[in-house]
Structure 1
Amino acid sequence: MASPLTLHAAPAAGFDQPFELLAACHDRVRRSLELLQRLIAHAEQQGPDAQAADAALDVLRYFGIAAPLHHEDEERHVLPLLLASEQAVWVEAAEQMAADHRTFRALWADLAPGLQVLAEQGLPQLPVLRRLAESFVALHASHLALEDKVAFPAAAQLASEAERRAMTADMAARRGVTPR
């Protein structure tokens, strides 16, 4: 039986469907955020044990490696389409996404060191870690909804076939993958 602090699964879409891949990544973001919340509750109750260390490493890997790549995908391919659209709601969505990405980077810079302490089975300041995690999770809730409901559908509608192919190639290349 899997531990309550484990996280597995990959996105259901591939690079050949770039907007679907971005949306599928949000499932992993949500699971990683849930893991972060369970991790902190576990650490508060059980201390910095091996389960907490493993979960902290999973969260660190996801938000330290995969999430920045995802944000860069959006900044390279989604935001320019929305900004060029001249549709006020889409331009506002792009501006909010960019602002959220900046806030995520700042919050992550504060949150990651405490998670690293847990990954090494040390005991960080859990009240501070909880407060930072709650802010990180709350911002993601509105951010993911904006992307899923407004930004990705709009960008998918706006993107030409050539832009989709370029997006696929760029996303795969930055990850060292050859698209199908």
Structure 2
Amino acid sequence: MSAALDALQSSPGAGFDQPLDMLEACHERLRRSLALLERLSAHVNTQGADRPAQDAARDVLRYFDLAAPHHHRDEELHLLPLLQADPATQAWAQQVLSDHAQLAQAWAAARPALAGLSQGHWPPAQGAACAQAQWAQWSQALLAHAAWEDAVIYPWVRQQVGPADLHTIGQEMAQRRGVSHASPV
């Protein structure tokens, strides 16, 4: 399980000077986090809430409690206005918002068992199966959403924005996270 954590930590990255690449890299980290969650789900069936399971649960929680909300906020602030401004893509904007709301609700349902596991608590068989089913349902929805954005939304947005727009988006993304963004236009 520790090798899984190492793989997650060495996930691809992009900087604020390339905000669309950064959003795409976030999707790759999301996939890695969900793959870790899938391995964790299998692990607890045989090993229970041991130390590696607790560590993996904390890692998944950290990603989806901290990075994922920033990612959705970035999309909503910077991509949605572009989508909403074009009548041909307004339905996409609504789909993004709807997906984000549904994913947030699914995370709220899936999170408690993961939080308990991070503290060494794992429910008996029926409760464990329910938690794992919630994780699987949420994971599938999240993977489908990210794949759609990668295939449809991000390529369209790349055609709409220029270097100055990207610089502004990157600056604003960095400011929301309290970090400096020093790349030139």
Cα-Cα RMSD: 1.6
2:25 aligned with 1:32, yes or no?
Answer: no
Deviations 1:49-86 (A, max 9, x none): 00000000000000011000000000000111111122
| Separation (CA, whole Å) in 2 of partners of 1:158 and 1:174 | 23
Distance in 2 separating the partners of 1:21 and 1:170: 13
Please list the CA deviations of residues 146-168 of structure 1 after superposition, one character each: whole Å capped at 9, or x if unmatched.
Answer: 11111111112112444322211
The equivalent residue for 2:168 is 166
TM-score by length of 1: 0.92
Alignment-mate amino acid for residue 175 of structure 1: R
CA contact (8 A) 1:13 1:20 kept: yes
For structure 2, list consecutive stretches of 5 or more residues without a partner in the other structure: none
SS at match of 1:3: helix
Aligned residues: 178
Alignment of 1:8-23 (within 5 A): 8-23=9-24
Deviation at 1:10, TM superposition (A): 4.3
The answer to whether the 8 A contact 1:104-1:136 is kept is: yes
Aligned-partner Cα distance in 2 for 1:5–1:179: 28
> Is 2:136 the counterpart of 1:137?
no
Is the contact made by 1:15 and 1:179 (CA closer than 8 Å) also made in structure 2? yes
Q: Give 1:77-116 correspondences, 5 Å limit.
A: 77-87=78-88, 90-116=89-115
Taking only the aligned residue pairs, the percentage that are identical comes to 43
**Which residue, out of 137, 150, 155, partners 2:152?**
150
Task: Assess if the C-alpha contact under 8 Å between 2:49 and 2:122 holds in 1.
Answer: yes
Please say if residues 5 and 51 of structure 1, whose CA atoms lie closer than 8 Å, have aligned partners that are also in contact.
no
- Cα deviation, residue 2, structure 1: 4.5
Q: What letter corresponds to residue 127 of structure 1 in structure 2?
A: A
1:107-151 residue CA offsets vs partner (Å, 9 max, x unmatched): 111111111110011113211111111111111222111111111
- Opposite residue 49 of structure 1, the aligned amino acid is D
* 1:171 CA drift (Å): 0.5
What amino acid is the match of 2:138? F
The one-letter code of the counterpart of 1:84 is A
What TM-score do you get using the length of structure 2 for normalisation? 0.90
